[in-house]
Amino acid sequence: MSTQPALVALDWGTTSLRAYLVARDGAVTNRIERPLGILNVPQGDFARAFRDCVGPWLAAHPGLPALASGMIGSRQGWREAAYVACPAGIDALAGALLEVDAGAEFRIVPGVSVVDGDGVPDVMRGEETQIFGLDAADGVAVLPGTHSKWVLVEGGRITRFATFMTGEAFAAMSGHTILGRLMTGTGHDEDGFARGVAHGGRDAAGRGGLLHRLFGARTLGLFERVPGHALHSYLSGLLIGAEIAEARAWLGRPPAEVAVIGAPALARSYAAALGAGGITARIAPADAAARGACAIARRAGLVA
Amino acid sequence: MSTQPALVALDWGTTSLRAYLVARDGAVTNRIERPLGILNVPQGDFARAFRDCVGPWLAAHPGLPALASGMIGSRQGWREAAYVACPAGIDALAGALLEVDAGAEFRIVPGVSVVDGDGVPDVMRGEETQIFGLDAADGVAVLPGTHSKWVLVEGGRITRFATFMTGEAFAAMSGHTILGRLMTGTGHDEDGFARGVAHGGRDAAGRGGLLHRLFGARTLGLFERVPGHALHSYLSGLLIGAEIAEARAWLGRPPAEVAVIGAPALARSYAAALGAGGITARIAPADAAARGACAIARRAGLVA
């Protein structure tokens, strides 16, 4: 039957470990989330963290292969999996899985690298697996977060991508600059967010760019043009609006539709910000990482 | 004789109080710097902080007027001096001095406000006084720092200005994000700084803007393309280069020359970054605040 477990998929990042029991058809039949990100694994004993997390699944289904994506394949992870260079399709990823001696069949999906128009390298680990978990990978996808990624997929291959420090810049600017002082709350304020998006994404000619506009989050508060409880959302919108404007310029032409892969609340915010700019957001199904791991495992012959 | 004291000029900001004994011709004959910024004045007793700092000068020269500029005139300061709106010349400032009961002749120079192309207010307090301390105010000036200001002066009046959060963004991003982790030192590295300036100021078409380029400070470190000891300077250059690019767009046309008003090391960095973009930097004389206060006091009839 199709719900017979065929794979243990692991989305193993910096702060958390998400494990999925996946059926042959890609359906997730069980899931576990642990705060065992690669920086939090006791004594760096990844094999033990792996067993502690999914041991019962392996005991119930002996010989089940495991496939992990994310920072687990970085220098700070279990073992470093070399990046696959763009353009990178699912065949290239499936052909470069890194086997690790884990007391079970355990492989790591390699990350993907690219060199941008300035000659500066960019990298991803984990997002490539989520991309191939989309129903139709071709097109433009955004994976919002601490380090937001925009990815262009053409002909089933990731042809290029770019990382934007939006989430981390937001945390640093709201938590460690004067901008946080006038904020009287952190709840989502729809109007404040929309005003920030509009301001951050506006054509910059003759108006100053992001470094100038950030200061506007101070003066709009000082002059009580944006209320204190809305400033947090205003700043978030300002940065997300700036990211979308940068990404549009990076793409060369605005996409009609963008797939958004992320946690529900953040995905909704991005959908709203994209919609304000006339771009349709297609919220990706949950568990894209598990679905992508299953697709890669199938291509590698690990899952029939 | 010309060295006879004619004014006590105070550059009273958020973190420090700088007091100058100024002669009729604008020459500074004595100076004191205390960590008595407006946020550090015990019990908010500004009158006492003023007396403790310059009491001996006032005792030696009874009746000497004092003129203060900076955040002392803000809501958090001694008394709030309303902003003068752009275009703002020295006459408007001299005509709007705020008298404060300080047990001595004490006046505060008002700040200046403007509304930018996005309809967002911008403000300065203290920089207006430094501007009018330049030998020739007309032209473009930059006052680098936590909140860097670019100021356009035409016909002796500040016609518009814009604030850029460069310094504070640098502190937040280097101190509170992943970018700091690969930095192995904070000393100035000329090559790293120059590479950052070039990268931050490059035409962004199709290449992503600041939010993307910030991530380059991570990957260039990871790939050992910029050594760890140079990453601090690289990030500083990246942000200053981005600020200059934003300011050029804000001005509409690149200026041939820019006056740089700031602490010597930072002014030198800005001069280097401006020079890389073909703009001549004219480093302003020290004590621009004292010279500007003297010019405003003269216009107000406080100094003969």
Using CA atoms, how far apart are residues A105 and A101, in angstroms rounded to an integer? 8
Q: Based on the fold, state whether residues A229 and A195 are members of the same structural domain.
A: yes
Note the pLDDT of residue A137.
80
Which among B165, B173, B219 has CB closest to A120?
A: B219
Percent of the residues in chain A that have a pLDDT greater than 90, as a whole number: 90
The answer to whether residue A44 sits within a structural domain is: yes
Using CA atoms, how far apart are residues B105 and A169, in angstroms rounded to an integer? 46
The answer to whether residue A156 sits within a structural domain is: no
Contact of B175 with chain A, judged by CB distance below 8 Å, is answered with yes
Q: Based on the fold, state whether residues A192 and A120 are members of the same structural domain.
A: no
Mean pLDDT, rounded, for B132-141 = 93
Q: Based on the fold, state whether residues A110 and A179 are members of the same structural domain.
A: no
- Inter-chain CB proximity A177 and B162 less than 8 Å: no
**Is 80 exceeded by the pLDDT of residue B47?**
yes
Note the pLDDT of residue B202.
86
**Is 60 exceeded by the pLDDT of residue A1?**
no
The answer to whether residue A229 sits within a structural domain is: yes
Q: Based on the fold, state whether residues B260 and B294 are members of the same structural domain.
A: no
The answer to whether residue A155 sits within a structural domain is: no
Percent of the residues in chain B that have a pLDDT greater than 90, as a whole number: 90
Using CA atoms, how far apart are residues B91 and B109, in angstroms rounded to an integer? 12
Q: Based on the fold, state whether residues A177 and A245 are members of the same structural domain.
A: yes
The answer to whether residue A10 sits within a structural domain is: yes
Mean pLDDT, rounded, for A4-18 = 96
Could you tell me which of A288, A269, A299, A284 has the C-alpha nearest to residue A28? A288
Contact of B211 with chain A, judged by CB distance below 8 Å, is answered with yes
Confidence tier at B61 by pLDDT (50, 70, 90): very high
CATH number of the domain to which A36 belongs: 3.30.420.300
* Set of chain A residues whose Cβ sits within 8 Å of the Cβ of B219: 120-123
Q: What value does the mean pLDDT of chain A take?
A: 95
Contact of B212 with chain A, judged by CB distance below 8 Å, is answered with yes
Note the pLDDT of residue A26.
87
The answer to whether residue A159 sits within a structural domain is: no
Contact of A215 with chain B, judged by CB distance below 8 Å, is answered with yes
**Is 70 exceeded by the pLDDT of residue A206?**
no
Confidence tier at A143 by pLDDT (50, 70, 90): very high
Using CA atoms, how far apart are residues B73 and B110, in angstroms rounded to an integer? 7
The tokens of A128 are what? 């490539």
Mean pLDDT is lowest, of A204-218, A244-258, B176-190, for A204-218
Mean pLDDT, rounded, for B96-118 = 95
Domain that holds residue A104: 5-135+286-299
Distance of CA B22 to the CA centre of its chain: 20
Could you tell me which of A279, A255, A203, A246 has the C-alpha nearest to residue B205? A246
**Is 70 exceeded by the pLDDT of residue A73?**
yes
Q: Based on the fold, state whether residues A202 and A242 are members of the same structural domain.
A: yes
CATH number of the domain to which B186 belongs: 3.30.420.310
Q: How far is A242 from chain B (nearest CA, A)?
A: 8
Q: Based on the fold, state whether residues B110 and B200 are members of the same structural domain.
A: no
Q: Based on the fold, state whether residues B123 and B172 are members of the same structural domain.
A: no
Confidence tier at B207 by pLDDT (50, 70, 90): confident
**Is 80 exceeded by the pLDDT of residue A203?**
no
Per-residue pLDDT tens over the stretch A98-139: 999 998 999 999 999 999 988 999 999 999 999 999 988 899
Mean pLDDT is lowest, of A80-94, A194-208, B58-72, B88-102, for A194-208
Q: How many domains does chain A have?
A: 2
Q: Based on the fold, state whether residues B266 and B290 are members of the same structural domain.
A: no
**Is 90 exceeded by the pLDDT of residue B205?**
no
Q: Based on the fold, state whether residues A63 and A182 are members of the same structural domain.
A: no
Q: Based on the fold, state whether residues A41 and A126 are members of the same structural domain.
A: yes
The nearest alpha carbon in chain A to B223 belongs to A121
ipTM of the complex: 0.94
Note the pLDDT of residue B44.
94
Mean pLDDT is lowest, of A200-209, A232-241, B184-193, B233-242, for A200-209
Confidence tier at B3 by pLDDT (50, 70, 90): confident
Which among B121, B164, B216 has CB closest to A212?
A: B164
Could you tell me which of B136, B152, B144 has the C-alpha nearest to residue B274? B144
Note the pLDDT of residue A296.
98
Note the pLDDT of residue A121.
96
Contact of A55 with chain B, judged by CB distance below 8 Å, is answered with no
The tokens of B121 are what? 């207010």
Contact of A71 with chain B, judged by CB distance below 8 Å, is answered with no
Mean pLDDT is lowest, of B42-56, B59-73, B154-168, B199-213, for B199-213
- Inter-chain CB proximity A164 and B222 less than 8 Å: no
Confidence tier at A254 by pLDDT (50, 70, 90): confident
The answer to whether residue B199 sits within a structural domain is: yes
B118 neighbors A213 (Cβ within 8 angstroms): yes
Note the pLDDT of residue B220.
97
Q: Based on the fold, state whether residues A193 and A240 are members of the same structural domain.
A: yes
Q: In a mutagenesis test of the B interface, which of A142, A207, A215, A231 is the best target, namely the one with the most B β-carbons within 10 Å?
A: A215
The answer to whether residue A99 sits within a structural domain is: yes
- Inter-chain CB proximity B118 and A199 less than 8 Å: yes
Note the pLDDT of residue A42.
94
